[in-house]
A and B are shown apart, each in its own frame.
Chain A
Amino acid sequence: MDNELVKKLKAGNEGAFQTCVEMYKDKVLNTCFHFLHNHLDAQDTAQEVFVEVYQSVHSFRSDAQLSTWIYRIAVNKSLDLLRKKKRKKRFGYVLSIFGEGEDSEPVYIKSESDPLQDLEVKERTDILNAAIDSLPENQKTAITLSKYDGFSNKEIAEILETSVSSVESLLHRARKNLHNKLYNYFEKNI
């Protein structure tokens, strides 16, 4: 099915592109969100992902899976935005004088469950995300794709264009570092 879709995409078929967007938009959106932790940034980045898919599908090699290629673009775009934001932070003060560079606050969707429990989950998620964000970029990418997005080690290896054993090693180090960071945090805050 992928091959047929790729052929049509390469031929510039709009219907095929719409099918592709509808098929992958949720997964791409969530992948971006798990890296960026911000709804609006995730929406914008996911849109950019599909724009790039449309514009560079002719360079896509059919020996790889279309989904893997799309997720790779999503990961790269998200990491690019994070790097850009990091750079922007250095000019944060100057930018704030001009009313620019202020990141919009993340929007949390209220669920119908217990608000206190929601608050606790939100707080813990913030702690977890902060710990993940402080990991080296490759470890952060591997653990986000594995734990948040539920990709298998093989899929992660394809997305990151590396071997499965490298992914296993990355995940092992990421888990260990994450545990240490959380341990240090709770040691000070309990």
Chain B
Amino acid sequence: MNKKEKIEQEIEKTLSCFEKSERLEGDSWFYNRVKAEIDNPGHKRFGLQTIWPILKPALLVLIAAINIFTISSYFATPETVQEVSREQMVIEFAKTFSLNSNSNNLFIFEN
């Protein structure tokens, strides 16, 4: 038997599973469950599944906001710190050497 014939045989065996397919039978409580669903629509959907459709976009927005905040603060922090420290440094320097903002030491505040 060559490969092609073997494959055809396998296909035939597989297609025969259509006839061997499992048959289900509805249990005796089937009607009661349908009736309960009609009388109390949506009683099954309780819990996280109920709020999940609302929660999902909210969660995505929250994750996006956290990311944006993290990225912006990561890039913003060194510059701000540098600016503040530079300004503070000048003030501290002026205080240490008791410098007043008169014409003799104005050069410090330039630049």
What are the residues of chain B within 8 A of A190 when measuring CB–CB?
Answer: 3, 6-7, 10
Cα separation A125 to B31 with both chains bound (whole Å): 30
- The prevalent SS among residues of B at the interface is helix
- Is B69 in contact with chain A by the CB < 8 A criterion? no
Give residues 5-63 of B contacting A (CB, 8 Å).
6-7, 10-11, 13-15, 17-18, 20-26, 30-31, 33-34, 37-38, 41, 48-49, 52, 56
Question: Can you give 28 A-B contacts (C-beta < 8 A)?
Answer: A21-B34, A26-B25, A33-B22, A42-B24, A47-B30, A47-B33, A47-B34, A48-B37, A50-B34, A51-B38, A51-B41, A55-B38, A98-B48, A100-B48, A100-B49, A121-B17, A124-B14, A124-B17, A127-B14, A128-B17, A128-B18, A148-B21, A179-B11, A183-B7, A186-B6, A186-B10, A186-B11, A187-B3
List residues of A whose CB falls within 8 A of some B CB: 18, 21-22, 25-26, 29-30, 33-34, 39, 42, 46-48, 50-51, 54-55, 91, 98, 100, 108-109, 121, 124-125, 127-128, 147-148, 178-179, 182-183, 186-187, 190
Nearest residue, chain A, Cβ from B18: A147
* Partner of A121 from B20, B25, B30 at Cβ < 8 Å: B20
What are the residues of chain B within 8 A of A100 when measuring CB–CB?
Answer: 48-49, 52
* Most chain A beta-carbon contacts within 10 A, residue among B20, B25, B49: B20
B17 & A125 in contact (Cβ 8 Å cutoff): yes
Nearest residue, chain B, Cβ from A50: B34
Q: How many residues of B contact A (CB 8 A)?
A: 28
A51 & B34 in contact (Cβ 8 Å cutoff): yes
Cα separation A22 to B28 with both chains bound (whole Å): 9
> Min CB distance, A120 to chain B, in Å?
9
> Min CB distance, A188 to chain B, in Å?
10
* Most chain B beta-carbon contacts within 10 A, residue among A47, A54, A98, A187: A47
B24 & A33 in contact (Cβ 8 Å cutoff): yes
* Partner of B11 from A21, A33, A183 at Cβ < 8 Å: A183
Cα separation A59 to B36 with both chains bound (whole Å): 22
Cα separation A42 to B49 with both chains bound (whole Å): 19
What are the residues of chain B within 8 A of A50 when measuring CB–CB?
Answer: 34
Cα separation A123 to B33 with both chains bound (whole Å): 33
> Min CB distance, B67 to chain A, in Å?
15
Nearest residue, chain A, Cβ from B21: A148
